[in-house]
Chains A and B, each alone.
Chain A
Amino acid sequence: MQSLAEGLRLPTNGLDYTILAIYFVVVLGIGFAARASVKTSLDFFLSGRSLPAWVTGLAFVAANLGATEILGMAATGAQYGVAVVHWYWIGAIPAMVFLGLVMMPFYYRSKVRSVPEFLLQRFDASAHLLSSALFAFAAILIAGVNLYALSIVVEALLGWPQWVAIVVAGLFVLAYITVGGLSSAIYNEVLQFFVILAALIPLVVLGLKRVGGWGALSDDLEAAHGHNYLTAWGGTGIGQGNPLGANWLTIILGLGFVLSFGYWTTNFAEVQRALSAKNLSAAQRTPLIAAFPKMFIVFLVMIPGLVAAALVPKIGTPGSDLTYNDAIPYLMQELLPNGVLGIAVTGLLAAFMAGMAANVSSFNTVFTYDIWSKYVKKGQPDAYYLRFGRVITAIGVLASIGTAFIASSFSNIMGYLQTLFSFFNVPMFVVFVIGMFWKRASMKSGVWGLLAGTTAAMVNYFWIYKQGVVSIPTDQGANFVSAIVGFAAGAIVMVVVTLFTAPKPEAELAGLVYGTVSPGLEEPPAEGDGAWYRRPALLGWGAVVLAALCYLPYSL
C-alpha cells in the first residue's frame, strides 16, 4: 500500500466528480435522517436492536469489504493466483456459519451490547477490561490505517494531496456517525455494498474481454507461472513448496480455523452488525445471509488480480513500477471510460470510509458501555451515555485522523503494530468457545487464556520464526502457524487455571453457556420466521456445501 505507482492518475472528468459528489451528499443525508431515530444510547450504539436481517447481513459483508480488503485481496490474487480463494471459502464461510448457528444465540439472547461485555458476564472484570482496552486501541489504529490507505489511493488516482483526503474523508465520517450513530453506519454500508458491486462487475467483464476470456487467461498464466498458480491446493502437500508458504494443514487449521474464527466470531466490528438485528432469528441470519455474497465476491477481486498479472507480467517485481496493490487501480485506468469510472472511484472511496466507520462505530460502543460506564462513571442516566457516546465518537474520529498522519510518516511502525494486534485476536476465539461450552471454566481462566494465547502467538512469530529457530518459508505461513500455537497455548492454560481456581456461580451462567437457559428471555418467534428459506440451519449448511462445491473446479 505504501508505494502505489506513479502514473496511475485516472482521466476523471466532471461527470465522474458529479457521481462522487452525489454520493457524499447522500451519505450525509442518511446521517441526518437517522438522527431522528436516535432516542436512547441503545439506538445510537446498536440501532435499538431493530434492523431486518437483510440489512444487517449486507452490512456484515460490507464492514469487512473495506477498500484495503478489496485492493489487498486483488493483490493476493495477482501474487499467489487462485490460492486467494482460501481466504473466502475456508477462511470465512465456516466461521460465519459457526457464528450464526452456534454462537449467536448466546450473544443475542444474553442481551450483551458488545463482545467484551460477554466476557464480563461469563468470566470476570480482568478479562473484560483487557479485551475492551485492546479492542478500543486497535479499532482506532485500524481506522487510522484505513484513512491513510485512502489518502495514498486518492493521491495516486485523483491527485489530491494526502492531507486533504485524510481531513475530508475523516470529517465526512465524523459527521454521519456522530449524528446518526450505528444506523447511519449500517445504512451506508448497505449502500456501499451495492456501489462496490457496480464498480467491480464492469471491471471483471472488461478485464476478461481484454485477455480473451477465462480460457486464454488461464493458458497465459499457466505458461508464465505453472499449473499450481491456477489451482487452490496445488503444491500444498506437507513438505512441498508453494508461493504461499503454507501446507494444507496450516491452511485449514491456521487460516480456516483459528484466524478466521477469531476474526469473524469475536471481532466486535463484525458481531455488532448482528447484535443490531431485530430478533434472534434475524441476528442468526445476519452472518448466514452475508456468507452468500462473501463466497462470490472472491471472483470480483481475484479475476482483476489475475488479469493484471497477465497484462503486466512483471507486476510486483523490482523491474516494474506497478505493485500488486495496483492491480485494480491499473485496470480502472486502462479499461473504464468516464461514467463507470466515476462509479468505480466512488465505490473505492465509499469502501474506505465504510471500513473506517465500522471501526469507529464499534470503538465508541466499547468505550462507552465497556470502559466508561463500567469503570469510570457508573449509574448515570441513559441520556448521559448517549451524549458521551457522541462526544467519544468525535474524539475517536479525530484520533484516527491523528493516527493517519502518524502513519504517513512512520508507515513501518504501523505495519508492525497491526501484526502485533492481529495476535490479540487469536486467543479470543479459544476463550469464547471454551467459555460457551464448558460450564466449569473458571472466572480467572478467561484473562489467563487471553494472555497466554497472545504471548505464545507472539513468541512463535517474533522469536521462533523471525529469529530463524524453525524455518517457515513466508510471513503468511508463519502467521498461520503462530495462530495455531496461540490457540493451543490458550486452551491448555485455560484448562490448567480452571483446575486451580473457583468456577463462576451456576446461577450467573444462565443463558451464557451451552445447556443453560435464562428464564424469561425466550422470545416467541416472529411471524414468518418459520418459512423454510429463513431457517438458520438450512442457510448455514447451504453456505458450507456451496463453498465446498466452489472448490471443486480449482482442485481437480
Chain B
Amino acid sequence: MSELQREVSELEKKSATAARLFDIRRIIGGLFTLYGVIVTIAGINPSDADLKKAEGVNINLWTGLGMLALGLFFLVWLWLRPLAPPAPEDDAAGPEGV
C-alpha cells in the first residue's frame, strides 16, 4: 500500500460519514410534500386568467399532485427502509438501497 492509500484508509475509519448521520430522503420527501400541498392548493380554484395562460390545463393542480406524489414516495421509502443507526465500531458500508 502506498503512503496515500494508508492515509486515506486511516481517514475513512475516523470518518463520521454523512450518509449515516442524516438522510437526504427525509429532506426531498419533506420539501416536495410541502411544495406539492402549496401548489395543489393554488390549483384548486384556478382563475380564468391562469387557465387561459396555461392552454386550459390546470397546471398547478397537476404539477402539485405530481410533486406531492414524489414527496410521499420518498417518505414511504424512508419509512419502509430506514437507515441503520450508526454503529460506532462498525466500518461496513450502510444498508442496501439507501
Chain A positions within 8 Å of B, measured between CB atoms, are 15, 18-19, 22-23, 26, 29-30, 33-34, 36-43, 47-52, 55, 110-113, 117, 121, 183, 187, 190-191, 194, 198, 201-202, 205-206, 209-210, 278-279, 334-340, 343, 382, 508, 510, 518-521, 526-528
Interchain CA distance A233-B51 in the complex, whole Å? 39
Interface membership of B72, Cβ < 8 A:
no
Interface size (B, Cβ < 8 Å)? 50
Q: Given A22-B31, A40-B15, A51-B18: A121 and B60 within 8 A (CB)? A: no
SS of B interface (majority): helix
Contact partner of A526 (CB less than 8 A), chosen from B9, B21, B93, is: B93
Q: Which residue of A lies closest to B12 (CB)?
A: A49
21 A-B pairs within 8 Å (CB atoms) are namely A26-B31, A37-B20, A40-B16, A42-B11, A48-B12, A49-B15, A51-B19, A187-B24, A190-B28, A194-B28, A198-B70, A205-B59, A278-B94, A335-B54, A336-B53, A337-B50, A338-B42, A343-B39, A508-B2, A526-B92, A527-B96
B59 close to A202 (CB less than 8 A): yes
Residues of A within 8 A of B9 (CB): 111
A42 close to B8 (CB less than 8 A): yes
Q: Given A335-B53, A340-B60, A521-B1: A38 and B16 within 8 A (CB)? A: yes
A343 close to B63 (CB less than 8 A): yes
A278 close to B93 (CB less than 8 A): yes
Q: Given A278-B93, A518-B5: A209 and B15 within 8 A (CB)? A: no
B38 close to A18 (CB less than 8 A): yes
B5 close to A110 (CB less than 8 A): yes
Q: Given A40-B15, A336-B54: A202 and B63 within 8 A (CB)? A: yes
Interchain CA distance A343-B57 in the complex, whole Å? 17
Chain B positions within 8 Å of A, measured between CB atoms, are 1-2, 4-5, 8-9, 11-12, 14-22, 24, 27-28, 31-32, 34-35, 38-39, 42-43, 46, 49-51, 53-55, 57, 59-60, 62-64, 66-67, 70, 92-94, 96-98
Q: Given A40-B16, A190-B24, A202-B63: A337 and B8 within 8 A (CB)? A: no
Q: Which residue of B lies closest to A36 (CB)?
A: B21
Residues of A within 8 A of B43 (CB): 339
**In angstroms, how far is the closest chain B Cβ from the Cβ of A53?**
10
A111 close to B5 (CB less than 8 A): yes
Interchain CA distance A278-B86 in the complex, whole Å? 15
B17 close to A48 (CB less than 8 A): yes
**In angstroms, how far is the closest chain A Cβ from the Cβ of B33?**
12
Interchain CA distance A50-B21 in the complex, whole Å? 11
Residues of B within 8 A of A194 (CB): 28, 32, 70
**In angstroms, how far is the closest chain A Cβ from the Cβ of B26?**
10
Residues of A within 8 A of B59 (CB): 202, 205-206, 336-337, 340
Residues of A within 8 A of B12 (CB): 42, 48-49
Interchain CA distance A43-B14 in the complex, whole Å? 9
Query: Which of B8, B21, B46, B70 counts the most A-chain CB atoms under 10 A from its CB?
Result: B21
Interchain CA distance A187-B27 in the complex, whole Å? 9
Q: Which residue of B lies closest to A112 (CB)?
A: B4
Q: Which residue of A lies closest to B24 (CB)?
A: A187
Residues of A within 8 A of B62 (CB): 202
**In angstroms, how far is the closest chain A Cβ from the Cβ of B76?**
16
Query: Which of A50, A55, A334, A528 counts the most B-chain CB atoms under 10 A from its CB?
Result: A50
